[in-house]
Amino acid sequence: MGNIKIYSFVIALFTVLLFTNELNAQKFERLDKNPHDIVYYRIGKMGLPQVKVVYGRPEAKDQKVFGTQVPYGKIWRTGSEESTEIKFYQDVMFGNKFVKAGTYVLYTIPNENYWTIILNKKTDTYGSCFYNPEDDIAKLEVPTVKGEMMESFSIGFKRQDYGSQMVLAWATTRVHIPLYTESRLISKI
């Protein structure tokens, strides 16, 4: 009789815990419809990170993304959902502008033949609706180039003899942003 009481108690306890867990389970109201990605730039495969970018990866709805899904001449969050954040682990030359190590938001203004690239110090923002030009720390213009079709917006890095380039790619549009990290410059001296 004692074993039956113990088994009954264990089953009752297990049932209560099962339903309590179900009641306390995390409810996700709305997941981002576009995945997010993180890309690092390192000098060498095992080197310390120089740059880290966290961004949303929207998908192309047609071959002509810029000028339709992303309008020309308007500020863009450079991805989807949250604003794209870029972290420099050391001081860099961003184009021709010296930028201190730290975390910034990367905004862009796409145009057909060139883009304006903007680093802004106001982090943890959603989209471009909180963009304030007074918080800009660097701004440069870079030409667009054509490439193969890329369905999802992507950011990567390309090493050059003079430094590196951060490459923004979506649909058939590519933008190359010059970056010069201190260790890269030192390694050439």
Check whether 6 has a pLDDT greater than 90: no
Identify the residue with better confidence: 159 or 74.
Answer: 74
Provide the pLDDT for residue 159: 85
**Is the CB of residue 63 less than 8 Å from the CB of residue 30?**
no
Predicted confidence (pLDDT) per residue in 96-129, tens digit: 899 999 999 999 999 999 999 999 999 998 888 8
The Cα angle at residue 109 between residues 108 and 113, in degrees rounded to 5:
115
Which tokens in the block code for residue 184? Answer: 């890269």
Q: How many helices (H) and strands (E) does the chain have?
A: 2, 9
Q: Look at residue 165 and tell me whether its pLDDT is greater than 80.
A: yes
Q: How confident is the model at residue 187 (pLDDT cuts 50, 70, 90)?
A: very low
| Per-residue pLDDT reduced to its tens digit, 55-64 | 999 999 877 8
Q: In Å, how far are 23, 24, 30, 46, 110 from 27, measured between CA atoms? A: 10, 9, 9, 39, 37
Range in 2-6, 26-30, 72-76, 131-135 with the lowest mean pLDDT: 26-30
How much of the chain, in percent, has pLDDT values that exceed 90?
58
Please compute the mean of the pLDDT values over residues 137-141 and round it to a whole number.
96
For residues 172 and 149, the answer to whether their CB atoms sit within 8 Å is yes
**Do the beta carbons of residue 166 and residue 175 sit within 8 Å?**
no
Cα–Cα distance for residue pair 69/58, rounded to 1 Å: 10
Provide the 8-state DSSP code for 70.
Answer: B
pLDDT at 185 over 50: no
- Are the beta carbons of 83 and 127 closer than 8 angstroms? yes
Can you tell me the distance from the alpha carbon of 131 to that of 134, in angstroms, rounded to the nearest whole number? 9
Percent of the chain residues past pLDDT 70, beyond the cut: 81
Structure tokens at 131: 């963009």
Average pLDDT, the chain: 85
Distance CA 92, CA 36 (A): 25
Q: What's the gap between Cα 152 and its chain centre?
A: 13
pLDDT, tens digit (0-9, with 9 covering 90-100), for 12-40: 656 665 565 555 556 666 666 778 899 99
Residue 188 has pLDDT above 60, yes or no: no
